[in-house]
Amino acid sequence: MKEQILEAWDRQAAIMNDLAALVTEENRGARPAAGSWPLDEQLAHVHEVRNWWLGKIAPDIQAGLGQALQEEGGEWRPIADLGEIRRQLEISGAAVRQAAERGLGAAGKFGPYDNAIIFLNHMIWHEGYHAGLIITALREAGAEPSEEWQESHIWERFRGPEEW
């Protein structure tokens, strides 16, 4: 069962990485709605949430992560290097897996979480929320991924190819 749980995370992380690849210099400022975070900040936030929680459950693993946000004038903004934001997402995705793998073999609390499965559930739920915002922002920018793209990069990752 441990490998199936880790595979679920791997699929989620791959979806986020594929969505991140759709964010370009031209559309990185697109927002899902007025007053909401732009695309680059959505991606940076996902990384930083992973980073922050890893600091609570596995500081030794978190130590290998970089930053995707930087403080400017008292506010946190995405770093300028979009490629680095994507790279940090990949690194933090692997780090979450590493921490979860360690936690799945242990009994009891996993940092502030009841167990490692609840931690992964939180991560997947949180990232699904932001995935929806990212797709909405891409739609607002005229760059919504096609149904075919969404099918192969999101839905088939969960259930395999649709057999019509």
What pLDDT sits at residue 73?
94
Q: pTM of the prediction? A: 0.94
60 in a domain, yes or no? Answer: yes
Query: Which parts of the chain fold into alpha helices (H)?
Result: 2-21, 39-57, 59-62, 82-104, 116-140, 147-150, 156-159
Segment-wise mean pLDDT, segments of 10 residues, the chain, 164 residues: 94 98 98 98 98 97 97 95 98 98 90 94 97 98 96 89 70
| Domain harbouring 33, CATH code | 1.20.120.450
Q: How far apart are CA 110 and CA 87, in angstroms?
A: 26
For 78, phi then psi, to 5°, come to -65, 145
104 in a domain, yes or no? Answer: yes
131 in a domain, yes or no? Answer: yes
Structure tokens at 108: 């009891």
Give 115's DSSP letter: S
Query: Which of 41, 29, 122 has the alpha carbon at shortest distance from 89?
Result: 41
Q: How many domains are contained in the chain?
A: 1
164 in a domain, yes or no? Answer: no
Structure tokens at 34: 């007025």
28 in a domain, yes or no? Answer: yes
What pLDDT sits at residue 164?
59
What pLDDT sits at residue 161?
76
User: Are 39 and 33 spatial neighbours (Cβ–Cβ below 8 Å)?
Assistant: no
For 95, phi then psi, to 5°, come to -70, -40
52 in a domain, yes or no? Answer: yes
Give the domain range for residue 104.
Answer: 2-159
